[in-house]
Amino acid sequence: MKLLVAPKRRAEAEGLDGEPLIQWLAADAMRLRKPLIDVGSHVVLGFDAKAKAALGG
């Protein structure tokens, strides 16, 4: 679940887990890591090399 938090906002999410983390993310969309891409069987997060490989790039 912590992978959903934008890298620059991870320190702010320290200690949050489960429902409190979900509520924290829902309160401000800028806290989410972007892009979130649904590729059918899973969701790809961010622009890093792992994400590009998952998209075939």
Cα separation, 53 vs 31, in Å, equals: 24
Question: What percent of the chain is modeled with pLDDT above 70?
Answer: 98
Which residue type occupies 17? D
- Residue numbers of the domain that contains 24: 2-54
What are the structure tokens assigned to 54, written together? 């998952």
How many structural domains is the chain composed of? Answer: 1
Residue 28 has pLDDT above 80, yes or no: yes
pLDDT value of position 6? 93
What is the average pLDDT across 15-28?
A: 96
Per-residue model confidence (pLDDT) at position 45? 84
What pLDDT does 57 receive?
67
- The pLDDT of residue 21 is 95
Quote the mean pLDDT of the chain: 88
